[in-house]
Structures are given as C-alpha cells and as structure tokens.
Structure 1
Amino acid sequence: MNKKIVYRVNADGKTGYGHLGRCISLSKFLEGEGYGAVFLLGPDQSGASVAFFRATDSTYQLPENYDEEAEIEAMKQIINLENPSAAVVDLLESSLAMMETIYRSNIPLMAIDDICKNNHMADIIVNAGPVAREDDYKGRRPELLLGSDYLMLRPQFARMAQGRKDNEEPDGIYVSFGGSDPKNYTLRALDMFGTIKNDFSAFIVVGSGYRNYDLLLDRATHSKVKADIRQNEKEPWRIMKWARVAVCSIGSTCWELMLMGVPCITLTQNDNQARYADELAARGVVIHFARNNEFNNDELANTIEKLMGNREMRRGMAEKGRKLVDGKGLERVAKALIRKMKSV
C-alpha cells in the first residue's frame, strides 16, 4: 500500500471552492507527514480549480454530466492504480454506493460533512460547523470530529493572527464572498460603499470562479470609493490584518476572519449558511445581516458604520471569534486520520 491519500471533492461556480481549498490544506499538511495526494474532481467549466494544484499532485476529473456509475468506476480505477492508504470525501451530496466502494476496499475513509447527512459509511466524520451535534449521526459508529476545533484553515492565518495587536485600529473594510459568489454580492457591496459616511479603506477579494470580475473592475472606475480589488489573492491574511470589519458569507473566509480577530457582518447565500450564521449570531460572534439577496444597501451601510464606530462591540465579537476558532483544527484532523491509517 502506497503512502497516498485519495480526495474526492467537487469545485465549481455552484458548489464554490471552499471544499477543495480545505482538502488542499489537509493534503499539504499530510505531505509533511510523508503522504502524497491524489484528487478525483467533478467537472469545472470555468477551469478555476486548476489554480489550486501543484505539479506534485495527481489529479483525475470526471466528465460533464457524469452519473453515479461513472463516479464509482473512476474511484475503483484510482484505488487499483494508486493503491492509497486512505480516502477523504468532501461533497455536499455523497453517493452512498461510491462511499461503499471505498469502504469495501479496506482503506480508512474520512467524510467531511457540512449538512449533517447521516449516510456516511466512514471511519471518521468531520463536521466543523457550529450546529453539528452527535445526535445528527445516530446509528453510526465512526469517530466524530465535531465543532470548530476541527476547522481546517491554512496555518498562515494563525501565525498572522498572533502578530495582530488588540490595540490596533485599522480603517479597512474587507469584502469577500468566496471563490464564486453566485449571487454577486460583491458588486452590490461596491455600490454600497458610496453611501458609507466614515472614512475607510476598501479591500475586495474575489476567487477564480467569480464570473463578474470585468464588470466589477468597470464599475469600480465609476465608484466614489477607491477599492483595492484582487482576484485569486495568494496571501489574504496580509490584507485581513488591515480590516476593522468584514462583510462576507459563511464559509472558510468567515472562519479565517474570526481567527484574525476581524468582526464579520454576514450575508448568507443558502439555507445551510443561514443556519450557521443564525447560530453564530446567537452567540454574539457575527452579525447576520441578510440572506438570499434580501437586503437594502442603505441599511447595510448603516450597520457597517455602527460597527466601525463601536470599539467595545468589535472587541467583544473579536474575542468570541478567537475563542471559537484557534487555528489548530487542520492539525487535529490530520492527526486523527494518521492514527486511523496506522491502526489498520
């Protein structure tokens, strides 16, 4: 058996790129422990997922309109060819038959789950969401890694967060809605900037799957606010340190901002994000402003102004966010998988 791990993950404009991003982070950590990476991806018409990979990664891609049978056959071929030590599945909707194919190959299986699906034939289930509960997985006997202790964030964020002082008062507003931003909140945020009365610096970060980049740049030339707009930013932690507040969706970016101590105003894009945001808002960690494009720009600007001007509220949110996200989840998840592989 080779010291390789096969990752089954999708990344596209609809799913977003957070699933792939955390699998890449996990693979890089495990590479340091001597484990290579093999990726089986779904189709990505934008081709944006290619930007995530290194020359050392082995990648396979399913064809457009693939069915369950094609997915199972591809996984069988990879297992036979690569002879991996374990498999990691990170999908919104996992095929039970595909999971069973991995299970029957007698290699450890880790399932990364965001929506509390009780259908994983897995040895380890990771659900780092704030609403994950053991009762969500009744009837299963895997090792459960639940809650924010298992958020898989790039280690650079933790290092940068340690250097950020509580008495610093940057004037930036950081805006990011993930790798694809399917509802195009980014463009609305740029328009909203013109109504904010405070002095501030604007930072807008979009991913490789964002399809309105040219329109965003064009709109920015006519905006009252000069925004620093970046696509595929390799080191977002260096920009986040200049943010006093952030406007974002729930996902990897939001967790990263919490670790950095940046208070977040969230605009959620689907029901699952909204569940997370409601729970985090109840804990006083974020302000859940709106969901599914149902918001008024003037009201959002007013909320930003109030948070920008309320130092005590920002400090309280930052403190709660840092308690929730400590930046060590990637190591915890990787070590759990290593223990499982060594026990087989």
Structure 2
Amino acid sequence: MRCLTLAGVLRDRGASVSFICREHDGHLCDRIEEQGFIVHRLRKGADPVFPSPAFDPYHAPWLGVSWEEDSEETRRIISTLDRKPDWLIVDHYALDERWERYLRPYVSRIFVIDDLADRVHDCDLLLDQNLVEGMETRYDEKIPSSCGKMLGPEYALLQPIYSELHDKIPPREGPIRRILIFFGGVDQNNLTGIALSAVMELNHPDIKVDVVISKKSPFYNTIRDQIVGRPGIVVHSNLPSLAPLIAKADLAIGASGTTCWERLCLGLPTIVITTAENQKAIAHGLKEQGLVKWLGNADTVTANMIRESISKLLSRRDIRDWSSQCSQRVDGLGVMRVFTALTISPDTALHVRRAKLSDEKILLSWANDPLNRKNSFTLDEISPDRHHQWFYDKLRDVENVFLYIVESEDKVPIGQVRFERKSEIWEIHYSLATEFRNRGVGRPLLKAGLCAFRKEHEGVIIFGRVKEENTTSCKVFESLNFSAKSDGGGVAYQRLL
C-alpha cells in the first residue's frame, strides 16, 4: 500500500510506473491494476522454500522461491521494458544485497524500503519511516557509505490527503464520542471482533463506532452479525482512504503498521495491539514517547484488557495534549520528500529562503550526518543543546549571518547555505541532505545560495575552506569560478560576488 501511494504521486508528476508482484495468497495485484498500473505477475512457488539460516534473511520463506529464481524472473521482466528504469524500488523483507546486486546492471539506481535493519543492502537510497531506538545508526554497517538515508516518520508514505488535512483537523478535546477500529487488510486473529466486543461491553450507546474490514476477510460476515441491532456501529470496506474516518474519530484501536503514521498525522489517540514481530519495536518506540497506548501483542491481549483501557481513557483529561503531540510528530509530507529524492536532478528548480525557528531539527540532522562530520574541520558530533544555542545566536545576528534553506518547488528542504561576516569578507558554508547526494545537486544548491546573497551584497568577497580530500566540494567551488590555494590541510576558495 505504501508503494501504491508513492506510485500514484510519481505518476501524477509524469513518471511511468509498473509493479512486479508474486501471486501469493491474498495478493493485491487486482487492486494495483484497478489503480491503473501495469502489474507483472510472478507465479506462486510450487514447493515450500527452506532457506539457509546462515546466509538467508529471517523472512526468506516469505519470498516463496529462492532469491536466485526470483531475481532471474525479475530480470527477465525488466529486460522487456522499453527503457532501462531510472529506479528499481524494492519493498520486501526477504530480499537483500545478493538480489539487489544481481539486478543492479539492469537499472540506473536502487531504492530500498525497509523496517527491520536485519540484513545488508546494495542500494543508492534507503527509506525506513519508523521510529525506533537507534534509528540514526542501525543501518550504518548495512548499506554502502554513499547511500542516501531517509529515516523517520517525516518520510512516511502517506496519501496526499493527509498533508492537506494535517493543519485543518483540530486536536481532540474529549469526551470520546466516536471510535475507529481497524487492524489492516488481513486481521487473521480477528482482533477486529475482539475490539468490537470490548467496545460493546462498555454499554455506552452514545459512542459511535466505525469498523473497517475487508470483505475478503474470513471474519467479515461474523462482524456483520455481531453488530445486528446496533445502529451506532457501522462497518466499512474497500475504502479509498481512511483519512475521513480518522478525522472524525476521537479514539482508534488498531495495529502498529503504516496506519500508525496516518493516525498520528491527524492527531488521533490510539490503543495499539501489535500483530507481527516487526511491529513491536515500532509500538515500543511510540509508547516511550507517549504517542500511543500499547496493550501488547495479539496473542496476549483480551477483550477485557481493551475494555478496561478504553474505560480509563473515557475519564482522561489530557486528551488534547496527547492529540497535539501526535500531530506534531508527522506532517504528512513524507511522500513528497521521497518523490523529490527520487526525481531531483541538476535541472530541478530550487528556491531560497531565510532559515526560521522550525528549521532547528533538520539543520542539526544535516550537521551530524556522518559524511558532513567527516568533511568538517571539527569532527565531534554536535549535541542538541550546543546546536540550539548556536542556531539561536545565528538567527539573532541578522546583520552578520545569512542562513539560507534551499528548497524544491514543493518546499522540500534540499540543503543549507550560510554566509557569516568575517571583518571585510564573508565566509561561506553549505551542506546537502544525504538523500540528494550523488545527483549533481551540489553546484545548483550553492549557486542558488550565492544568487540570493548577491541581491543584498553584490561586490563583496566570499571565502570558503574545504578539506583537500573532499573532492566533491572542491569541484563545486571551482565550477562556480572560485579561485583556489592550499591552506594547511585544506583548500581556500575565494571570489568576488
């Protein structure tokens, strides 16, 4: 579903997108085709696959065939396309660097979507939209050093309607008058029915309930029978988006998958029950930050536990704070950030603005990126407190510091360019977000910053200093007509603006 969301945005902006899917039980090939995309179908494997624990990913059996067979089938499909794909987007827990390396000659770049950080990848860009402990470092030994990383829920692949509604839906204030129950498209444990029983046992006929469950679910008819005579409970199926129901609800009961980010984006407090092993770390991380109420895993949670949890929430007085905290964590713009990372080029139109208070977090993440620290003349990681003071000092020094954020047309931040007055000259610094590296964007970024600065400071001398081994930045400065000279372990660049 997250790939379908991304594919829709890519197509709307002119890209040609097709899918390769294997016909496992419960596959969504028909749904993808209903959305107007070509689906290249791989047949379900005839025999069970017994992977080697020493070499294969934990989820290798999910592939249904060996990785060698799957990669060769995929290669044959790619070879029939009209042109070499710009990107191969890989979203499968059973695939690792071996599969990716085999297909690399047949595509321009590889983009991996992952949640687990449990295997090595050979990719150019990696997305993990989750919020778990050690997020910033858990891929360090699992991807190439040149790979761009998009980590955290700010990159969550949500439908565009979520960003549209994010600033329009007010925080919940209580009392709880409407509950949304949704446990994904499969719900093999019938958590939907268990949660529904818990709500019905509350004996609060004034609370309306929306239940979302697929008509293909083996429990669909059971759920329909369960609500007979309860006009305040409505069952929904095959919805194009959950957003309208999330916006109406005061409380949700659901699993810890992609829907977590949809609920957070629209500020909906949630009781979470995990349904798979890979959901536990996500639920734990959200619970630790006070963003969800995690009851436990499906095999340990009872209707009585759910009922008691709801009862406590009915009298909770800080619902507004909880709701506001949720919406502040996810803004719904993740799909546009990923779209920009996939499509950016030296010809992408860039816009420049002065930095503002809300840029503090992203500037700190850029500053502490391992490559930026390696290329800096001061290698130590910057603490949040130290960066906070530095950032505020720079913003308040409006005459001597010009800190620019460079963005795409969709207002996705690409990097920063900073000018600081040093006596009669201005010192320049710049950095590029990791997901936009190796795409020829460094020169346009720096040029955009120089053009913005020149509008107010034409005729001044600009000075920059770069480590000799940072050949990429050296080439960027030289391409913009800076003169160079050696400077004790670095290269000094200077030009008249």
With structure 2 as the length reference, what TM-score do the two structures score?
A: 0.61
Trace 1:194-213 onto structure 2 (pairs within 5 A). 194-198=200-204, 199-207=206-214, 210-213=217-220
Secondary structure of the residue that 2:123 maps to in structure 1?
Answer: coil
Give the aligned partner of residue 52 of structure 1.
32
Contact 2:127 2:151 in 1 (8 A): yes
The alpha carbon displacement at 1:340 in A equals: 7.0
Give the aligned partner of residue 148 of structure 1.
153
Trace 1:1-344 onto structure 2 (pairs within 5 A). 21-54=1-34, 56-65=36-45, 66-82=65-81, 83-131=84-132, 133-139=135-141, 140-141=144-145, 142-166=147-171, 169=174, 171-198=177-204, 199-207=206-214, 210-221=217-228, 226-312=232-318, 314-339=319-344, 343=439
Structure 1 residues 71 and 231 mapped into 2: Cα distance closer, same or farther (>3 Å)?
same
Deviation sequence 1:61-115 (CA, Å, 0-9, x none): 1111133233112221222122311110011221433211222325110000011
CA–CA distance in 2 between the matches of 1:298 and 1:136?
Answer: 37
Structure 1 residues 274 and 339 mapped into 2: Cα distance closer, same or farther (>3 Å)?
same
CA–CA distance in 1 between the matches of 2:333 and 2:215?
Answer: 27
Q: Unaligned stretches of 5+ in structure 2?
A: 46-64, 348-438, 441-497
Amino acid at match of 1:291: N
Contact 1:91 1:113 in 2 (8 A): yes
Q: Which moved more, 1:128-137 or 1:207-216?
A: 207-216
CA–CA distance in 2 between the matches of 1:250 and 1:167?
Answer: 21
CA–CA distance in 1 between the matches of 2:15 and 2:336?
Answer: 14
Q: Which is bigger in relative contact order (C-alpha 8 A, separation at least 6)?
A: 1
Q: Which moved more, 1:229-238 or 1:172-181?
A: 229-238
Deviation sequence 1:108-152 (CA, Å, 0-9, x none): 100000111341101001011101623212233211111111101
Contact 1:90 1:111 in 2 (8 A): yes
Deviation sequence 1:176-198 (CA, Å, 0-9, x none): 01111122201111221221144
Contact 1:172 1:202 in 2 (8 A): yes
The alpha carbon displacement at 1:44 in A equals: 3.2
Contact 2:210 2:235 in 1 (8 A): yes
CA–CA distance in 2 between the matches of 1:62 and 1:175?
Answer: 34
Give the aligned partner of residue 18 of structure 1.
none
Structure 1 residues 49 and 341 mapped into 2: Cα distance closer, same or farther (>3 Å)?
farther
CA–CA distance in 1 between the matches of 2:339 and 2:346?
Answer: 11
**% of aligned pairs identical?**
22
Contact 2:71 2:103 in 1 (8 A): no
CA–CA distance in 1 between the matches of 2:218 and 2:32?
Answer: 17
Structure 1 residues 286 and 225 mapped into 2: Cα distance closer, same or farther (>3 Å)?
farther
CA–CA distance in 2 between the matches of 1:185 and 1:73?
Answer: 39
CA–CA distance in 2 between the matches of 1:50 and 1:230?
Answer: 20
Secondary structure of the residue that 1:44 maps to in structure 2?
Answer: coil
Contact 1:193 1:225 in 2 (8 A): no
Structure 1 residues 157 and 255 mapped into 2: Cα distance closer, same or farther (>3 Å)?
same
Moved over 4 A (4+): 167-170
Structure 1 residues 211 and 340 mapped into 2: Cα distance closer, same or farther (>3 Å)?
farther
CA–CA distance in 2 between the matches of 1:48 and 1:311?
Answer: 42
Q: Which moved more, 1:180-189 or 1:190-199?
A: 190-199
Amino acid at match of 1:227: I
The alpha carbon displacement at 1:302 in A equals: 1.8
CA–CA distance in 2 between the matches of 1:305 and 1:159?
Answer: 32
Contact 2:210 2:233 in 1 (8 A): yes
Say what the alpha-carbon RMSD is for the aligned residues: 2.2
Secondary structure of the residue that 2:212 maps to in structure 1?
Answer: strand
Q: Unaligned stretches of 5+ in structure 1?
A: 1-20
The alpha carbon displacement at 1:158 in A equals: 2.3
